[in-house]
Amino acid sequence: MRHDTSCAGSHFSVDCPSRLLFDQVADKWSMMIMTVLHGGATRFNDLKRRLEGVSQKSLSMTLKRLERNGIIARSVIACTPPGVLYELTPLGLTLLPPFQAIYRWANENMHAVEAARNAYDRNIGSA
What structural domains does the chain harbor? 17-94 (1.10.10.10)
Quick one: pLDDT band at residue 2, thresholds 50, 70, 90? very low
Q: Comparing 73 with 78, which gets the higher pLDDT?
A: 73
Three-state DSSP class for residue 73: strand
The pLDDT value recorded for residue 7 is 66
pTM above 0.85, yes or no: no
The number of residues making up the chain comes to 127
**Of 38-52, 54-68, 75-89, 105-119, which gets the smallest average pLDDT?**
75-89
The pLDDT value recorded for residue 68 is 96
- Let me know: does 25 contact 96? Beta carbons within 8 Å: no
Rounded to an integer, what distance in angstroms lies between the CA atom of residue 36 and that of residue 74?
15
Backbone dihedral angles phi then psi of residue 65, each to the nearest 5 degrees:
-60, -45
